[in-house]
Chain A
Amino acid sequence: MNTNLAPILARSTGAADFSNDTIWVSVIKAVAILLFLLLSVLFALWFERRIIARFQQRLGPNVRGPFGLVQSIPDALKLILKEDITVKAADKVIYLIAPVISVFCAFMIYAVIPFGPMVELPGGFTTPLQLTDTPVSILYILGITGLGVYGIVLGGWSSGSSYPLLGAVRSTAQIISYELGMSLALVSVLLVAGSMSTSEIVNSQENLWWAFALLPAFVVYLISAFGEVNRLPFDLPEAEGELVAGYQTEYSSMKFAWFYLAEYINMLNVAAVATTVFMGGWRAPWPLVTLFGEGVDQGWWGLLWFILKIWLFMFLFVWVRATLLRFRYDQFMAFGWKVLIPVALVWLGLVAAFQGVRHFTSFDPTAIDVGGLSLRTVLFGIAGILIVVTIVMYLIPDRGKKPAVEGAGAKVPEPADEPFDAFAGGYPVPPLPGQKLPPSTRRARVTTPAAPAEDETTDEEKTDG
């Protein structure tokens, strides 16, 4: 085997060793994970509101505590102090169980996520920074995600109301459709990593993160992740303009809080899985390893890299939410079934064929020499050139570009001679193509935009019980 390309075929480099852990160590780790998740959600609420506010030229919560950091705590406490309403039409037992299923499944994913490598605690006790790892961890993650759908569908169904029911079936169809793209994207990683255990997958990325080697799979995974956690642009189950709050409409107090919490933990979950499977898990970014040596890739440093990578994904979620609009439902389902799944299938076929040729025939496509350079060098060179070209094209301003004509071959009508009446029929109407809006009589009022006001309560996503 070509040693230069060994990382592409790194197989079974060993799972984390849990032999030192006793029951009590596991209990402590489990409590630590729960605390980490709860604090992360509180932080995520603040983080999202602040970032969204920045995108919208506002300030976001900035009064309580430094930078408004503790704003989420009273918000969360408020929910517990609200009245717990059970609607009349509800199926009482299932109505009560559904939010617990939701939050339970959200908490369980992190049990198999590696936060870091083996660390030594004071006293010489060594343990991996991971609760547990099984030979089928990835399958377990998908299974728990699938189980989490029950919380949503039962919650919406048992409310005995129209909006939650529609929100629940939408959400279910969405999650199961995008779970397919997600799980197909993961297969190609399992193929090259040769294991379903999360710690082994992280170990297999010692030299090369799978996000780079398997870029199409990573992209499919990332897009599916947005559908999986009901985030914009795929937040159709909670499309406020259509379904009030979707499956959560009839819930209040802590039951609502559990749904809300589960939603945010699910964001952390897909971010953690993306980090573990594609972005090298707790491994330090390799430029840092080159600069500072192997030390930054060991021990407690792993925790830092892991958390940084998670929050990179969380930032992406917020960024996309601030940038993109919501899809229409039929477009959204068509995208999942007609684009993501075929792409994932074709990519899987390519990876399998490539690996098959490498493993089972004497021909090694990665050992091809192109003018004395290895294939890897050539491919990296091409990728580098493409990146440079992309950046250059981005920097060149669009000059001399004609304005796009709306519609295929549509002709902009000639300006009508008659003056446009903005109040035809008594209602204000926008001008049609070709019509010109008469100058406002109140033009003198237009001045500079108002300075952003201090903003604490006008956030779009208030967590009202």
Chain B
Amino acid sequence: MTNPYIPLLIMGGLALLLGVGGLAASAVIGPKRYNKIKVDAYECGIQPSPHSIGAGRFPIKYYIVAMTFIIFDIEVVFLYPWAVSFAELAGFGLIAMFGFLFLITVPFVYEWRRGGLDWD
């Protein structure tokens, strides 16, 4: 096999088959007894609070974490190819990458000092 990605497709196909097959099997084998209470949302026995799809609320902090994550994830993605070809890129690559790390660290420190990383 010269193309290393074909086995990945095979693996993906088999994994998907297993995943969907399992759900299908339980849908066929499992019992079906309808009960009005059973299909309600679970809230430890009390009447479920009204909750419409897409309108579930959660704290804004999670958005901030996600946005900070994007910045850092892009940084990491840039670091990977540099790390692999470290020797080929030589001193120029090293200095450029230190500059890049510095540019990422400044907003990180700024966010930290402004309390963007505090949970409360």
Contact = CB atoms under 8 A, between A and B. Distances in A.
Contact of A99 (B5, B15, B23, B84): B23
Interface residues of A, number: 93
Interface of B: 1-2, 4-8, 10-12, 14-16, 18-20, 22-23, 25-27, 29-33, 38-44, 48-49, 51-53, 56, 58, 61-62, 65-66, 68-69, 72-73, 76-77, 79-80, 83-84, 86-87, 90-91, 94, 97-98, 101, 105, 108, 112, 117-120
Given A83-B33, A158-B53, A159-B41, A19 B22 contact: no
Interface in A336-366: 337-338, 341, 345, 348-349, 352-353, 355-356, 359-360
Contacts of B25: 80, 254
Interface in A162-198: 162-163, 165-166, 169-170, 172-173, 176-177, 179-180, 183-184, 187-188, 190-191, 194-196
Interface string A20-44: 0111011101110110000000000
B72 A334 contact: no
25 contacts: A18-B4, A80-B22, A81-B30, A82-B26, A82-B31, A83-B30, A89-B41, A96-B23, A99-B19, A104-B19, A107-B11, A108-B11, A163-B43, A176-B69, A176-B73, A177-B65, A180-B76, A184-B79, A187-B83, A254-B27, A333-B119, A341-B72, A345-B105, A352-B98, A359-B90
Nearest to A332: B119
Which of A103, A133, A244, A254 has its CB near the most chain B CB atoms (within 10 A)?
A254
Given A333-B119, A352-B97, A169 B62 contact: yes
Interface of A: 11, 18-19, 21-23, 25-27, 29-31, 33-34, 79-89, 91, 96, 99-100, 103-104, 107-108, 111-112, 131-135, 138-140, 157-163, 165-166, 169-170, 172-173, 176-177, 179-180, 183-184, 187-188, 190-191, 194-196, 244, 249-250, 253-255, 257-258, 329-330, 333-334, 337-338, 341, 345, 348-349, 352-353, 355-356, 359-360
A73 to B, nearest CB: 15
Contacts of B61: 173
Which of B25, B31, B65, B98 has its CB near the most chain A CB atoms (within 10 A)?
B65
A191 to B, nearest CB: 4
Contacts of B19: 99-100, 103-104, 107, 258
Contact of A22 (B1, B56, B91): B1
